[in-house]
């Protein structure tokens, strides 16, 4: 209580010539305003959780369960079904939780446009994406919202994560390798400002399932062209302002690697998946090349852009379309004039179709896949 309020309760002195003071009853005295538990809870900022889904009912159930079980409870959970063949609404309805909204697209939009529309429709001060095959620790949101509420200069908070298999078992070796590869092993806990390098070069910020973002920090319409690299591009867009990010080294998210995941499909023999991934990468790297704030890394992004275009070209060669293949490989030559992989692919595009198709399908990791 302030000194002013204490003074207001003091009893004035009494003299014979002055009317005796009126003594305040307990109910008349100023009382500090108290807030009910319900009021306090409703004043906590709303967090919008976006779960994009397509035909993965069992995993979706786990993802939703981890969202509704959060210790931070002021949520709206938007399950965005991208016109999948399975009935995901039954899974949503089984939770009987009024915080869950089910939205189904009348046609398939693709993951990035599906997410862009969902983020734009979200009402929360903060937003978080959760893949339909991943899940969160129950303290994920509670932990990441604290630094954002404490510091308005932060645009996102992110954490480390576990790698899990089809059955949800943690792969410790893969987890450690991923943390090391994405630069989080050397990353100190706390604020990083700016965080362009750690988001774009190191790819340490995994916005698909391990970040909480201030909604007004990103122009969500811009992610629609990023395709399957939407999470990478969100991290880039959030970092552009030069504001900060908070890193929490706890592993509070679980990223599932399984046979039907996009990365596994594009890494094997699905040519459409390779083309999707190549086009997404080419789009992102082209934006990075043009960004003056990333000028120090331009040569690296030029190499990545060329590699992505060569990957697309090789996929079209394998599909028996050398003319379309040549278009992308020719682009790659802008930065890959002496790259063996690109030069061989370009040469193959001029061979008779039967020969180019046969050679392009030769399994040669040194020529047609990227060495790590």
Pair (154, 123) in one structural domain: yes
In sequence order, what E strands does the chain have? 47-53, 75-81, 100-104, 126-129, 135-136, 154-164, 190-192, 211-214, 244-256
Pair (231, 299) in one structural domain: no
The share of the chain scoring above pLDDT 70, in percent, equals: 81
pLDDT tens per residue across span 183-192? 999 999 999 9
What is the CATH number for 79? 3.90.550.10
Cα–Cα dist 265/315, whole Å:
14
CA-closest candidate to residue 218, choices 200, 239, 201? 239
Cα–Cα dist 226/309, whole Å:
15
Q: Report DSSP state, residue 201.
A: I
Asked if 48 and 122 touch (Cβ cutoff 8 Å), the reply is yes
Looking at 238, 256, 274, which one is the last position of a domain? 256
Cα–Cα dist 304/306, whole Å:
5
Least confident of 23-32, 78-87, 130-139, 295-304: 23-32
The rounded Cα 315 to chain-centroid distance in angstroms is: 28
Banded model confidence at residue 263, pLDDT cuts 50, 70, 90: low
* Domain extent for 61: 44-256
| pLDDT value of residue 270 | 86
Q: How many helices (H) and strands (E) does the chain have?
A: 16, 9
Cross-strand pairs, 156: 213, 245
| pLDDT value of residue 349 | 87
- φ, ψ at 2 (rounded to 5°): -80, 160
Q: Is residue 14 part of a domain?
A: no
Q: Is the pLDDT of residue 352 over 60?
A: yes
Pair (75, 183) in one structural domain: yes
Cα–Cα dist 222/224, whole Å:
6
pTM: 0.83
| Count of the separate structural domains present in the chain | 2
Banded model confidence at residue 359, pLDDT cuts 50, 70, 90: low
| pLDDT value of residue 127 | 98
The share of the chain scoring above pLDDT 90, in percent, equals: 77
pLDDT tens per residue across span 104-143? 999 999 999 999 999 999 999 999 999 999 999 999 999 9
Q: Is 252 helix (H, G, I), strand (E, B) or coil?
A: strand
Pair (205, 67) in one structural domain: yes
| pLDDT value of residue 82 | 96
| pLDDT value of residue 357 | 54
Q: Is the pLDDT of residue 293 over 70?
A: yes
Pair (52, 195) in one structural domain: yes
What does the block give as tokens for 133? 């095959």
Cα–Cα dist 35/245, whole Å:
32
Banded model confidence at residue 365, pLDDT cuts 50, 70, 90: very low
pLDDT tens per residue across span 4-38? 333 333 333 334 444 444 333 333 344 344 444 44
HSE toward the beta carbon, residue 339, CA cutoff 13 A: 26
| pLDDT value of residue 360 | 57
For residues 199-208, average pLDDT: 97
Higher local confidence (pLDDT), 212 or 22: 212
| pLDDT value of residue 353 | 63
HSE toward the beta carbon, residue 313, CA cutoff 13 A: 29
Cα–Cα dist 348/291, whole Å:
34
Q: Is the pLDDT of residue 356 over 90?
A: no
| pLDDT value of residue 9 | 35
Pair (228, 360) in one structural domain: no
3-state secondary structure 333-368: CCCCCCCHHHHHHHHHCCCCHHHHHHHHCCCCHHHH
Pair (290, 158) in one structural domain: no
Q: Is residue 76 part of a domain?
A: yes
Cα–Cα dist 273/261, whole Å:
11
Q: Is the pLDDT of residue 164 over 80?
A: yes
């Amino acid at each position: 209580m302030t000194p002013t309020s204490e003074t207001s309760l003091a009893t004035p002195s009494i003299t014979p010539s002055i009317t005796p003071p009126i003594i305040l009853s307990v109910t008349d005295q100023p009382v500090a305003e108290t807030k009910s538990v319900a009021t306090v809870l409703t004043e906590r900022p709303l967090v919008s959780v976006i779960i994009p889904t397509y035909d993965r009912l069992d995993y979706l159930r786990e993802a939703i369960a981890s969202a509704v079980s959060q210790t931070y409870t002021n949520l709206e959970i938007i399950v965005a079904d991208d016109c999948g063949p399975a009935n995901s609404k039954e899974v949503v309805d089984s939770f009987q939780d009024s915080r869950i909204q089910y939205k189904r697209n009348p046609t398939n939009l693709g993951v990035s446009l599906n997410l862009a529309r969902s983020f734009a429709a979200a009402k929360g001060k903060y937003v978080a994406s959760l893949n339909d095959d991943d899940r969160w620790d129950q303290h994920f949101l509670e932990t990441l919202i604290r630094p954002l509420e404490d510091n308005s200069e932060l645009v996102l908070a992110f954490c480390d994560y576990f790698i899990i298999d089809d059955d949800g078992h943690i792969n410790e070796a893969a987890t450690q390798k991923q943390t090391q590869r994405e630069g989080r092993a050397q990353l100190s806990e706390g604020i990083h400002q700016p965080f362009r390098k750690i988001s774009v070069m190191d790819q340490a910020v995994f916005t698909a399932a391990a970040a909480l973002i201030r909604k007004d920090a990103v122009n969500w319409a811009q992610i629609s062209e990023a395709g399957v690299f939407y999470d990478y591009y969100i991290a880039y867009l959030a970092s552009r302002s030069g504001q900060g990010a908070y890193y929490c080294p706890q592993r509070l998210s679980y990223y599932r690697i399984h046979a039907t995941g996009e990365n596994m499909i594009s890494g094997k023999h699905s040519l459409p998946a390779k083309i999707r991934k190549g086009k997404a990468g080419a789009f992102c790297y082209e934006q990075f090349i043009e960004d003056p704030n990333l000028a120090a890394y331009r040569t690296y992004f030029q190499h990545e852009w060329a590699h992505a275009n060569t990957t697309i070209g090789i996929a079209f060669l394998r599909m028996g379309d050398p003319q379309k293949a040549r278009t992308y490989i020719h682009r790659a030559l802008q930065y890959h004039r002496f790259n063996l992989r690109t030069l061989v692919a370009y040469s193959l595009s001029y061979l008779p179709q039967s020969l180019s198709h046969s050679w392009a399908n030769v399994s040669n990791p040194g020529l047609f896949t990227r060495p790590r």
